[in-house]
Amino acid sequence: MSMAGVEAPSLRNFVANADAPAFFWDRAASARFTDLQRGTSIDGGRLADLAGRSVLIATAGQLTTALALIELDGCARRLVILPPDTEADHLDALIAAAGVEAVVTDVETPRRPAFDIAARAVCTPSIAPVAERPPVRRRSEWVLMTSGTTGVPKLVMHDLAGLTAAVHARSPADGAAVWGTFYDIRRYGGLQMYLRAVCGGASLVLSSAGEPVADHLARLARHGVTHLSGTPSQWRRALMSPTIRAIAPRYVRLSGEIADQAILDGLRAAFPHAAIGHAYASTEAGVAFDVNDGLAGFPAAYIGSTRDGVDMNIVDGSLRIRSPRTASRYVGIEQALTDDDGFIDTGDMVELRGDRYHFVGRRGGIINIGGLKVHPEEVEAVINRHPQVRMSLVRQKPSPITGSIIVADVVLKSDQQAVPTRQIELKDDILRLCRKTLPRHKVPAAISFVPALNVGATGKLLRRRR
Amino acid sequence: MSVKLTIIEQMERIAREHGKILAPLKEDLVLADCGLDSLGFAVLVARLEDTLGIDPFSAAEDAFFPVTLGDFVKVYEHGRR
């Protein structure tokens, strides 16, 4: 599908170009979004009221956001996408910062005083025929929110061209596709999967908050998912479910966290015939690159050369990215997004091992053990290599002697938990692997076996901050 | 196993893991001279919390650390009561 020569393509252009009906499915409902060519899901024909305005999309469900984005792109001046777990206390500040003039909700959106100041329209999963739709006449601004763990999220400005720049590059296993994602589409990672589906005229199986993993996998199987994406933590949880055998995706994608060799190998074993890729992306930097050779890290040659319009360099161990897919600016705050040369500092620390760079952790996540530094993620990557380990969390514990020490919470693959004597052997075995691979201070002082680890709404492992 | 034996076993184990040689573990052995470095002790305290279920040092209001092995064992015996 070539967009050459088309002025300001909008999502509706892609929908109009779809060759066959395509659907969004969530847990409770579905919508044939290709019907939006001649219909609307915005209740009462209020769409014209939203034209040219800054519109907050504050739906309870993902299905209605999925529809509203198609309705509003090219119609509203600005689309502001509200992630599901935004704290109510932050709404006033976010609405003011984004200059919100209208709100799109669905029937389940919680009532918030912050929404009352603006014009309001309701989006439903049903698409009613409409005589005339407002014409697509502008390049809408897309405003996404960062998933920072503390304080008011930052608002980040994108446009459809930048958001879809990585979509048009052919991905492995192209062809008639059914997309699925463990992410929420109201954040950058999930939005990428949404845009891949809509721009390709393909159906998308949405995740639903609180849905058990097995139920979600069963739904993905029922809809015949071919392309499925999630964070490494979400994939680890999925691999613990026997229902994983019900799906057979052709393309498996990981992003949002470090993809270690253990999870890549685990997915290879589960899906021997699938193309498996891990991507690096962030809300600010956009999609920087995909790695499709089945190995953790990325080739050293990616640094210092322009690939696909993306330049990367490393300053003080942190990866910096300059690309046409990066956000253009922050909204509502005076803070530069890039340095003077146009690079975004990701804060993701990398280390050269042989001919590949490996991600070792976040700059802000370093634990100091008596003056020696350790990234929890690099220790987890080693623990996860143990054949009986499914996933792990390395955390800091105060120590009267060294200030901090690290301990590990470990989730074993199925059925390993039972026998206590076996547990002691296993702990020793995991620690032996750590000692063989890591310097002394990076070896956890203690290991606990836990039934599960907490994965947040962003799909990332929750790290408790002290 | 007694608290004392648990502590001695863990000390020997950590020394082995960290490639250190322990001095003979007598009651009046000054801990600073026992052969474990500060990381070794930090690991010891964390492991003992795992096996004995207590961390008397983090629980204490003010920072203190026993001088001899005998004192160290007493802190744990006291904490376990």
Q: Which CATH number does the domain housing residue A382 bear? A: 3.30.300.30
pLDDT, tens only, A264-310: 999 999 999 999 999 999 999 999 999 999 999 999 999 988 988 99
Measured distance CA(B16)–CA(B38) in Å, rounded:
15
pLDDT, tens only, A50-93: 999 999 999 999 999 999 999 999 999 999 999 998 989 999 99
Residues A335 and A304 in one domain: yes
Mutate to test the interface with B, among A401, A440, A442 (most CBs of B within 10 A): A401
Give the residues across from A204 on adjacent strands.
A24, A179
pLDDT surpasses 50 at A419? yes
CB A179 within 8 A of CB A202: yes
Final residue belonging to a domain, choices A302, A330, A353: A353
Tokens (6 digits) for A55: 């519109």
Final residue belonging to a domain, choices A303, A326, A353: A353
Choose the closest CB to A399 out of B18, B46, B50.
Answer: B46
A386 band by pLDDT with thresholds 50, 70 and 90: very high
**Does any domain span residue A456?**
no
Between A and B, how many CB-CB pairs are < 8 A?
A: 47
Q: How distant is the Cα of A403 from the closest Cα of chain B, in angstroms?
A: 9
pLDDT at A1: 40
**Does any domain span residue A331?**
yes
> Could you tell me the residue range of the domain that residue A55 belongs to?
11-353
pLDDT at A449: 92
pLDDT, tens only, B18-36: 889 999 999 999 988 999 9
Specify the 3-state DSSP secondary structure of A411.
Answer: strand
Residue ranges of domains in chain B, CATH in brackets? 3-80 (1.10.1200.10)
Give the contacts of A168 (CB within 8 A, at least 6 positions apart): A3, A199
Q: How distant is the Cα of B19 from the closest Cα of chain A, in angstroms?
A: 10
pLDDT at A22: 95
Q: How distant is the Cα of A447 from the closest Cα of chain B, in angstroms?
A: 9
Give the ipTM.
0.84
| Domains in chain A, number | 2
Over the range A336-353, which residues count as b (16 or more CB within 10 Å of their CB) and which as e? ebbeeeebbbbebbbeee
Choose the closest CB to B58 out of A398, A402, A446.
Answer: A398
Residues A217 and A333 in one domain: yes
**Does any domain span residue A56?**
yes
CB A208 within 8 A of CB A28: yes
The chain-wide mean pLDDT, for chain A, equals 90
Contact list, B57 vs chain A (CB under 8 Å): 400-401
Residues A97 and A133 in one domain: yes
Contact list, A402 vs chain B (CB under 8 Å): 38-39, 42
- Check CB contact of A441 with chain B, cutoff 8 Å: yes
Choose the closest CB to A399 out of B17, B18, B42.
Answer: B42
**Does any domain span residue A463?**
no
Residues A335 and A390 in one domain: no
pTM: 0.87
pLDDT at A418: 61
Nearest CA in chain A to B51: A446
